[in-house]
Amino acid sequence: QVQLVESGGGLVKPGGSMRLSCAASGFTSNDYYMSWIRQAPGKGLEWVAYIRNSDSATYYPDSMKGRITISRDSAKNSLYLQMSSLRAEDTAIYYCARGQGSSSWFGAFDIWGQGTLVTVSS
């Protein structure tokens, strides 16, 4: 069964760090574009990180650059998001998502995890 399972969320103090994990099963995550997308409570969706399948090139929105790093471990078939200097406005559900199409990138995300909640509060 093709699925993504996130873990690592929880409560963290402002200025703290957190590492999220996303375990893939039923497919090889290295073969796909992968992203992290977040959703603040009661709000819309916000893309926060992307890693390309061919060369592991990474992209981030300017608002997150320097504070987050996306990475992958092919041996564990897993994706990670390292976050630092966390702020209250980073409070959100963080989803990992698979880019639709391993050989052709259509710009959409076809498989999503259930999400992991990160709460930044003192």
Interacting residues with another protein (CB under 8 A): 35, 44-47, 50, 59-62, 95, 100, 106-110, 112-115
CB of 105 to another protein, least distance (A): 8
Which amino acid would we find at residue 84?
S
Which residues are 69's β-sheet partners? 82
| Closer of 16 and 60 to another protein (Cβ) | 60
CB of 108 to another protein, least distance (A): 4
| Closer of 16 and 58 to another protein (Cβ) | 58
How many CB atoms lie under 10 A from the CB of residue 91?
Answer: 17
CB of 43 to another protein, least distance (A): 9
Which residues are 119's β-sheet partners? 11
| Closer of 16 and 115 to another protein (Cβ) | 115
DSSP-derived secondary structure letter, 18: E
CB of 13 to another protein, least distance (A): 27
DSSP-derived secondary structure letter, 16: -
- For residue 46, the Cα-to-chain-centroid distance in whole angstroms is 11
How many CB atoms lie under 10 A from the CB of residue 66?
Answer: 10
| Closer of 15 and 45 to another protein (Cβ) | 45
